[in-house]
Amino acid sequence: MKNRLWWLVVGLLLFSLACNTFAGGEEDNAATSQPEDPPAATATEKPPVSEEGDGFTIQVANQSDYGICYVFISPSESDDWGEDWLDEAETIAPGATRDFEVPAGNYDVKVSNCEFETLTTAWEIAAADTVEVGGNGRIAFVLTNVNEVDVCYAQLSPSSLDSWGDDALGDKEILAAGDSRVFFLMPGTYDILLSDCDEQALAEEYELEITQDAAWTLTGDGLVQDGMVDDGGPFYLEVENASDYDVCYIYISSSDADEWDDDWLGEGETISSGESWRSEYIPAGSHDIKLEDCAGAVLATAWEIKVDTTMTIGGFGQTSLEIINESSTEICYAYFSFSSADEWGMDWMGQYETILADGGTRIFFVEPGTYDLLVQDCDGDDLVTETEVVIDADGTTWTISD
């Protein structure tokens, strides 16, 4: 009896185990079977967006005193500039910017003023970029080519340097016969070398004082300053005040004189900020010019002037650096360079100007930034050096003492 019961129990256990194994196998098969394919994307679903091939922005920033009337943007592989990208009668005023949206690609850019004079060029721009025209503290040097030969190389180098430096026209630009190009330079003394496309010199000038806007023409006989009067006739002076100072005194005297003549403005007359002034004709001959504010601080000078001349004080975005010389030593050389620069650059005093001892004051106009400053006596010996001087929009006064 016991044996039958035992076999019955064993049989029931085996039957139960078989049922459970069969059920578990179905679950495993269901878990490993392939799911159905997802439904195809409908027409309203957007594909992934790829940025490859998108366009970009070229910005033109006008930091000059010119109005920009023409902006040409063309594919770099194109043989001509195409159409002007500005709307009819549209200009980019001094201090303004204008954005241009272009498709993906490489582009060349040429910017001109309303007289069709080229202000700047840029080449093979392939990503968002800013093309700057002019710059704070810079003056305009206009070069017109009436020679029959194209100018392919224009080297404008501070006379204090030992080498010519970079070609101001760049790798692709030329100054064709009949065209004009404006170069924006810091005031100073320059050597100039113009060459044709075979690198043959067309004209050379050395120790050329460029202290205010100037215009020169390349002729078959070399460089000639615009307005030069062959017979040495009379000329006039125009003063444009773009600074925050009033001009109260204008001294004009023969370059041979030992002292300045009387003030040309007259008692009580000033040239306020934003105003301009034009002289009566100045007698023929070489003359020196000095402009002062109402406290007697020198704002600008020009030397050995013989032709019609415009002197601009300050400029868009510029700030003032006032040097007061309370020392007993006359200052003949002044160097200001951005602290990030490796060299001092040009002497801001020029060949003839000095800051007198015992209270002489000179105001320079520079771009805001962080500068290293150096002044020297007339033997070229260092007097005072300052580093990391912040010159902000409100200007800075630097007092030199013994």
Q: Does domain 237-314 have CATH number 2.60.40?
A: yes
Domain ranges of the chain: 56-134, 139-225, 237-314, 319-400
**Amino acid in position 73:** I
pLDDT of residue 31: 40
Q: Which residues, 6+ apart, have CB-to-CB distance to 182 below 8 Å? A: 64, 66, 113, 117, 118, 119, 140, 141, 142, 143
Looking at residue 301, the DSSP 8-state letter turns out to be E
Distance, in Å, from the CA atom of 91 to the CA atom of 69, rounded to the nearest integer, reads 5
| Long-range residue pairs from 330-333, CB within 8 A, at least 24 positions apart, any chain | 330/354, 330/355, 330/356, 330/357, 330/360, 330/377, 330/378, 331/355, 331/357, 331/360, 331/375, 331/376, 331/377, 331/383, 331/400, 332/376, 332/377, 332/378, 332/380, 333/374, 333/375, 333/376, 333/377, 333/380
State in Å, rounded, how far the first CA of the chain is from the last one: 131
DSSP string, 359-379: TEEEEEEE-SEEEEEEEE-TT
- Of residues 243 and 88, more confidence is placed in 243
Q: How many other C-beta atoms can be found within 10 angstroms of the C-beta atom of residue 260?
A: 14
Distance, in Å, from the CA atom of 323 to the CA atom of 231, rounded to the nearest integer, reads 40
pLDDT of residue 229: 41
CATH class given for the domain over 56-134: mainly beta
- Greatest Cα-to-Cα distance within the chain, rounded to the nearest angstrom: 152
Q: Does domain 139-225 have CATH number 3.20.20.140?
A: no
In sequence order, what are the beta bridge partners of 369?
391
What is the tens place of the pLDDT at every residue in 248-305? 999 999 988 999 999 999 888 999 999 999 998 888 888 999 999 999 999 999 988 8
**Amino acid in position 91:** T
Give the β-pairing of 56-63 and 97-102: antiparallel
Q: Could you tell me what percent of the chain has a pLDDT over 70?
A: 85
If one looks up domain 319-400 in CATH, what number appears? 2.60.40.2890
* Closest to 58 (Cα-Cα) out of 95, 101, 92, 97: 101
Asked if domains 139-225 and 319-400 share a fold, the reply is yes
What's the gap between Cα 280 and its chain centre? 35
In sequence order, what are the beta bridge partners of 292?
249, 298
pLDDT of residue 249: 96
What is the tens place of the pLDDT at every residue in 54-108? 899 999 999 999 999 999 999 999 989 999 999 988 999 999 999 999 999 999 9
* 399 pLDDT higher than 70: yes
Distance, in Å, from the CA atom of 106 to the CA atom of 127, rounded to the nearest integer, reads 8
**53: confidence class by pLDDT, cuts 50, 70, 90:** low
Helix, coil or strand: residue 10? helix
